[in-house]
Structure formats: C-alpha cells, structure tokens
Chain A
C-alpha cells in the first residue's frame, strides 16, 4: 500500500503532482457550485472547449493502442507483441475511463449521463459514440480481467474469460473502428463552420488513422515511462517494430491529408498568414518530423530517441484534435476561446490521476510479462522483466 501512494520519485514532482490535484479539486468545486459559466470560458457562441477537444476527442484517441495491439496479437496472431499487450490495454482503459469522467464533468447535467442507454436517437453520431464507448469499456475490462485474475489467483474466472476472448477481441476492434472514426464524423455536420484546412468528408477516415498512430505512440510512451519509473528493462526490439509500423502509418496519414487538401483545393488557404495556418503547420510538423526520424533504424534502436518521437506524435495528435474542435471553429463562430483555469486544472488533474493509476497498476498487476509466464510465476512479488 505504501508503494501505491509513493507516486513520483523526487519531491519536486510530488509537490507539483499534489498542487495540480489541489487545483483540480478547486476547479471541481467551482464547476459544481457556479455551473459551467463560472468554471469555463464557454459561451453560446463557443459551446465546446478544452474538455470536449482534449479530454474527449484526444482522450479516446490516445487509448487507441488497446485495440491496435489487441488486433495485432490476438487476431493477426503476431505473438511476439504479446509482452506489450497489457500495457496497451491499460493505456486504453485509462484513456476511456478518464474520458468518461471528464465528459461527466463537462455535460450540463452530469446525473443524466445514463440517458443515452434508454433514450435513443440513431441519427446522432454522438449516440453511436456513446454506445461504442460504453460497450468498449466493457470489452476492455474483459480483456484486462486476466491480469487481475492472475494477480489474485482466480483460476475459474480466468478460464472463463479466456474462453470468450476471441469474439470479445473482435467485437472490441469493430467498436473501436466505429467510434474512432465517428469522432471525426461529429464535425461532418458543420461544413460552413469548420475551417477548410480541417473540414473534409474524409474526417472519419482521417480520425481513424490518426487514432491508430496516437495509440501506437502511446504504447511506446507508456512502455518507456513505466520501465524507467519501475526500473525494468525495455522491450526495445518490440518497440522498434512498433516504431517502424508507426512511421509507415504516419506516412500514409500525412499523404492522405495532403491528397485531400489538394483534391478540395484547400492548399491555397495555406498562403494566408493567420492563426489557423500556423497551428495547422505545427500539427503537421509534429507528425512529419517523427515520421522522418522513425524511418531511420538508428533512431528506433535508441530508446531515448524512440521515446522523443512517440512524444512528438502524441503532441501532434492532440494538436490535431484541438485544431478541429477549437482552432478551426473560432473564425466562423466569431469568437476567440482560451480555457479558464478550472478547465485547465481539471484536465491536468485527470492526466495526473491517469499517471498515478497506471503506476499503481504497473506495480500491482502482471502487466509486463507474457501471460503464460506469469501463470507459472504468479507467486513472485516483482513482475518479471521483459
């Protein structure tokens, strides 16, 4: 238990961590005492802000590693990626859970979060997303259940969960494909509002592919972070493989972006000197630079460079989601949006909580070993290094 509370290693980080959580708690108080108007800079002109753009759009995308690696290991049967499967599933589980928490804070009447279960509108993209996310969280729980069962030696449940695993994994991949792309479809209905650098009928496809990129980058990031924090050996050959796949998908994604821009004749707006142009270029650079680097085997072979590349992709991905949800709408909605402090503090707090839970899970659950090996060594206290 002491280990669980002992989060960041140095005192500086610990202080920052608790200051952020304190700020988040104050933010929550303001949010629920004074309503959304008191806690956010949202308005009738600008109804969606940081919580929708970052926590929901990016949060779900950052969890895309779960279904990507699950499909690789279970469906394509590439067993060598098994050691990172549970890390990927854990990032997904946290990404989705925290997104659900953030969404509950963001909606005007949090106590009605269950309404979509009973009140249906199949014409709404958001309805589809809500259902996919609910079902996928269930799938993720089932996919992660073996780790918990192994930890506590629940053999009966373990065999039961293993038995239903194949259809569950396939179901999870389908759900992910649907909702990751649907997050892009959310914006199909505002062709006259979203800036031409981002509005395209291809939004669902682009959102799906970029989510896969961010999911892979998240797995590299989480592996690196947890190995460093817990003093384990990094499964570098595997991450090297992921890095190469990531580079190829990034290349495909960026090509598609530019094919789309030129197809729609939107490249010409890039010559205009305005915020949208620069933030677009930032987003593209944060994807293109790591792509070029990741194509070099020397970069991938170095854990630190690999980590920096993954970090850049993550930032590029978040920049893209924020650009779609915020930057791209400002001009047409005729207003400028900057989040107020409770929005920022609650968002940062959720990220911190994510780190803390991941650390606790990494310490107490067999996340790092291939499942077969853990079954034999379930009595050992320290998880096996890979």
Chain B
C-alpha cells in the first residue's frame, strides 16, 4: 500500500541528522537543547532515542488503517492513497481524541499556543508527491532511514534479516502491528527494548469501534419501532378504558 519509511536501528549511529532535516522541513528551530530531547513534541516531530547500546526513532507510523483518521470527528486526518497520513489544521477543533486514540502516541499538541494545532510527521507529503525522498531519509548518512515503496521496503528488510540473521531480531516491526504501518522498523534486539509498543493487536484498531458504531442505524430503527409500539399500546389501552367507561353509564 503506497509509500513507506524503513528505519534500521542496527545502522543508526545516533547523529540526529534526520531530526535536523525534519526541523528544517517544518521550519522549526533546532539547537543542542532540542537535540537532547528524546521525546517527540509539537516542536520536534521526529526524535532519536537511546536505549542502552541501541538507538530507536520516533515518528508517525502512518498506519494502514489509522486510529486518528477514524476517531477525528471533523475528518481532519486523512490516509492518502500514497501512504502518508496527513492533517488539515483548518478543520481541527482541538478535541485531542487523536492523541488519546493513537496506539503509538504520535500526535502532539501546541499546548502553550492560544490557537493550538496538532503536530505530527506527514512523511513529507509534498516531497514524496513530487517523487523525492523524505527529508529524514535524504539526510541520513548511514542509510538507517530510507523511504520508498512499502512493499519494496518490506522485501529489503527481509533480505537484510536473511543475509545477517545474527545481527537482527528476526522480525520487521510494522508489517502486522495494528493492521500494518507504512513506517517499518528493524532492530538487533526485541522491539520492546526499543520502547515501541509491543502489546498491539494485529487487527486494525478502528475495527473495534466500527463493529459497534456501524450498528447505529439498526439500533435506532429497532428502538423507534419498539418505543413507538409501546407508546401506541399504552395509550390505546387508556383510550379503550376511557371509551368503555363512557359507554356504560
């Protein structure tokens, strides 16, 4: 399904060039202090994290069936056909349900702003649409982050695991998690040690809501018939009683 990003933790040297390029692309300030922050936030949409001897990267996973897209009541999020999940700040009312619902805790908020927006990585939608690589992939000096067709990235990741099975934990993160994501991870150690959620179901999370929500019209029509019926019966009974009372003086 469209484009994706592959982050290979075993190749990452923690130079944070991806962070810098990302900040440049979003026109956000970037300095040593911000570089030291290992969490994503409204002013830092991707972050390199240090987990012991290993590096990990935080960015939007661009789920195949994103929770944010499904929960947003005004439809401010969209999963594009190309793969990126994009956000329309002109629609957003700021309810922050996307932040609560995201299984990867990716959307962040401009808390101190009077007119706040949700911020998150959009896989450089403008760049990839023009056929370019994402800013982070272009900036990465070691090839730890590459962008391209998701299926090809999965094939490449599996090829790397097959070539050097002793250097990799034998799975590609993101192929199945939460119904599959466009962002994929490779790691030398089990993914829990990289701080990524490992308790996610393989089914897409929006299905859990839709199972119930899609029954709304049924519930409403059944309830209308039932309540209307009860109303008719109870009031008819009253009318009959009143009529009978009048009938025999």
Interface residues of A (CB under 8 A from B): 32-38, 42-45, 47-48, 71, 74-77, 106-109, 112-113, 115-116, 119-128, 130, 166, 170, 173-174, 177-178, 182, 185-186, 188-193, 201, 204, 329, 333
Partner of A170, one of B39, B113, B227: B227
Does B197 belong to the interface (CB within 8 Å)? yes
Does B11 belong to the interface (CB within 8 Å)? no
Partner of B209, one of A35, A42, A166, A188: A188
Partner of B101, one of A116, A121, A189: A189
Does B41 belong to the interface (CB within 8 Å)? yes
Q: Are B70 and A123 in contact (CB under 8 A)?
A: yes
Known interface pairs A47-B100, A47-B109; A125-B41 also in contact (CB < 8 Å): no
Does B235 belong to the interface (CB within 8 Å)? yes
Interface residues of B (CB under 8 A from A): 39-42, 67, 69-76, 91-97, 99-101, 103, 105, 108-117, 197, 199-201, 205-206, 208-210, 212-213, 216, 219-220, 223-224, 227-228, 230-231, 234-235, 237-238
Q: Are A127 and B73 in contact (CB under 8 A)?
A: yes
Q: Are B109 and A108 in contact (CB under 8 A)?
A: yes
Known interface pairs A123-B70, A189-B71; A109-B208 also in contact (CB < 8 Å): no
Q: Are A116 and B234 in contact (CB under 8 A)?
A: no
Q: How far is the CA of A44 from the CA of B110 in the complex (A)?
A: 9
Known interface pairs A44-B105, A109-B93; A189-B70 also in contact (CB < 8 Å): yes
CB neighbours (8 Å) of B113 from chain A are 35, 37
Q: Are A170 and B75 in contact (CB under 8 A)?
A: no
CB neighbours (8 Å) of B209 from chain A are 123, 125, 185, 188-189
A343 to chain B, nearest CB (A): 13
Q: Are B197 and A123 in contact (CB under 8 A)?
A: no
Query: Would you list 25 pairs from A and B whose C-beta atoms are within 8 A, ordered by A residue?
Result: A35-B114, A35-B116, A44-B42, A44-B109, A45-B105, A48-B97, A76-B230, A76-B234, A107-B95, A108-B95, A109-B92, A113-B93, A119-B75, A121-B74, A125-B71, A128-B213, A130-B73, A170-B227, A173-B223, A178-B220, A189-B205, A189-B206, A191-B201, A192-B200, A192-B201
Q: Are B111 and A42 in contact (CB under 8 A)?
A: yes
Task: Give how many A-B residue pairs fall within 8 Å (CB-CB).
Answer: 166
Q: Are B114 and A47 in contact (CB under 8 A)?
A: no
Question: Known contacts A109-B92, A121-B72; can you find 5 more A-B pairs with CB under 8 A?
Answer: A108-B95, A108-B109, A109-B93, A191-B208, A193-B103
Partner of B74, one of A115, A128, A186: A115
Partner of B100, one of A36, A48, A112, A120: A48
Partner of B96, one of A38, A108, A120, A173: A108
Q: How far is the CA of A107 from the CA of B93 in the complex (A)?
A: 6
Q: How far is the CA of A116 from the CA of B94 in the complex (A)?
A: 12
Q: Are B96 and A48 in contact (CB under 8 A)?
A: yes
Q: Are A34 and B112 in contact (CB under 8 A)?
A: yes
Q: How far is the CA of A113 from the CA of B101 in the complex (A)?
A: 20
A158 to chain B, nearest CB (A): 20
